[in-house]
Structure 1
């Protein structure tokens, strides 16, 4: 059994072929798709965060709205770029959104990917310390955020406060109990996966990772997951961690599917260079009749290792089509693989 959620990058553009022509369109349709996914029996609604782009960028208002309009599904991010985040403000926002949802928040964080502008985090008031890289800064922000979620007091109270204080040092409010255990790290390498495990975060692994040994993408991703679990066990954490992988899967079950995706997808991995230095491997997409998808996905070793699958959706095709896509996977593909 696997949890199956959708992951939306939240693209919008004014083109005539797009059903999300404005930021308002993509925000409102994201809420509607989460409601539809819950009705269909999916397990989660997750959203990517990109700044300076015509994509979703401010996750907490959206997560709070989704939390208020749904009752069962997990809601979260995949991922928030921690180079841009003030962890103190973020802890308050996350606590509020989690309380609104009734404790269903699953926050994916990361050091981020190449952005639309040069050093965009500087415009948000952040800069690496001496000797730090931007990735180091993101991990530092993350560690501060995790400490704040523990809910321990750290701030000296004013002796003449506007409102009465509880005794002792003060913490940020609102606090949402249990949220600390529902933080994930989007790891691009085996080393950062192990770092996340040592800090007690769950693991999100996407369709892109560092090419560390030349093996097929799904093999390298499965190796990453095993390295993460070994580091988790070595750290001595209680309980078992959560692991998700992302995939683009498009069953062909109608003429409309065929018109959109009938020419097939990328049936092989691709290599590229990120940030001008990092050699990366991009996983293939899966397109075909359900029986073909079942046969191909059965050989994906990383999916076999994970407990949660994120389905990347083409959000610009609109709510109705994406609900159809999710339903097709839940109905025609997942049962044949033992996911349902």
Structure 2
């Protein structure tokens, strides 16, 4: 068995071909899709977070709304850029969203990727300390967030509070027990995968990573996962970690599928630069008739290593079509690969 979720980047644009013409369209359709996905038997509804862009941001209102309208599906992110986050305020938001969902939050965080504006985190009031890079600032924000999720009191109570306090130092509220174990780190390199393991976070690995040896994407990603699992074991954590990988996968079962994605079946891994002097490898998309798709996916080493697969979806094509995309994978592909 493998958990299967969807990952939405939450695009919108006032374009005739888009089913999401406004931010409101995208938010409301995201809720509707999560409800429909749960009815299909999909395991997770995950959302990407981008700032200064016509894409989903501020994830906690959306995750809370989905949590209130569903019963079983995991709700999460992939990923929140921690360079932009106030760690303590985020503890409160995450705790509230997790309690509303009944403990189904799976929160993917990271140091972030190149954004729409130069040093956008500065507009949010954050600046690296002297001698610190923005990546290090993001990781330090993450560590502060993790530390305060444990529910241990740390703040000195006021001697004359408005309301009576429990004894001892105060923690942030609302506190959600168990959420600390459901934090994931989006790692683009082997080193950050090890760092995630050492700090007790699950691993999210997306459709790209830094190129560290020139091998095909799925092989490099599988190596990253094995390195993560070994580091987790070495760290001595008492629970089993989870690992997710993201893929663009389309089963071509209708003429509409072939029109939209038929050409993507010819794609291949590509290499390029997402940051100066940092070469990255980008994984290919999968699009084929179900029997061919099954054969191709069976060769993907990283999918085999992961317990969770996040299917990137074309959210701009509307709820009904994305339900079709997900149901096609569950019906025509997943059983033959042992995922269901």
TM-score (norm 1): 0.99
CA distance in 2, matches of 1:14, 1:218: 36
Trace 1:237-252 onto structure 2 (pairs within 5 A).
Answer: 237-252=237-252
For residues 169-222 of structure 1, give each alpha carbon's deviation from its aligned partner in whole angstroms, at most 9, with x where no partner exists: 000000000000000000000000000000000000000100000000000000
1:264 deviates by: 3.2
- The DSSP-based 3-state class of the residue aligned with 1:281 is strand
Number of residue pairs aligned between Structure 1 and Structure 2: 340
For residues 202-255 of structure 1, give each alpha carbon's deviation from its aligned partner in whole angstroms, at most 9, with x where no partner exists: 000000100000000000000000000010000000121000000000110111
- The DSSP-based 3-state class of the residue aligned with 1:37 is helix
For residues 93-118 of structure 1, give each alpha carbon's deviation from its aligned partner in whole angstroms, at most 9, with x where no partner exists: 00000000000000000011100000
| CA-based RMSD | 0.6
CA distance in 2, matches of 1:315, 1:52: 19
Report the counterpart of residue 231 of structure 2 in structure 1.
231
1:293 deviates by: 0.5
Report the counterpart of residue 15 of structure 2 in structure 1.
15
Report the counterpart of residue 310 of structure 2 in structure 1.
310
1:275 deviates by: 1.8
Trace 1:320-335 onto structure 2 (pairs within 5 A).
Answer: 320-335=320-335
Trace 1:81-120 onto structure 2 (pairs within 5 A).
Answer: 81-120=81-120
| 4+ long deviations beyond 6 Å | none
Report the counterpart of residue 72 of structure 1 in structure 2.
72
Residue segments in structure 2 that go unaligned for 5+ positions in a row: none
CA distance in 2, matches of 1:301, 1:325: 23
CA distance in 2, matches of 1:87, 1:264: 39
CA distance in 1, matches of 2:13, 2:189: 32
Report the counterpart of residue 173 of structure 1 in structure 2.
173
Report the counterpart of residue 47 of structure 1 in structure 2.
47
1:266 deviates by: 4.8
Residue segments in structure 1 that go unaligned for 5+ positions in a row: none
- The DSSP-based 3-state class of the residue aligned with 1:83 is helix
CA distance in 1, matches of 2:211, 2:226: 16
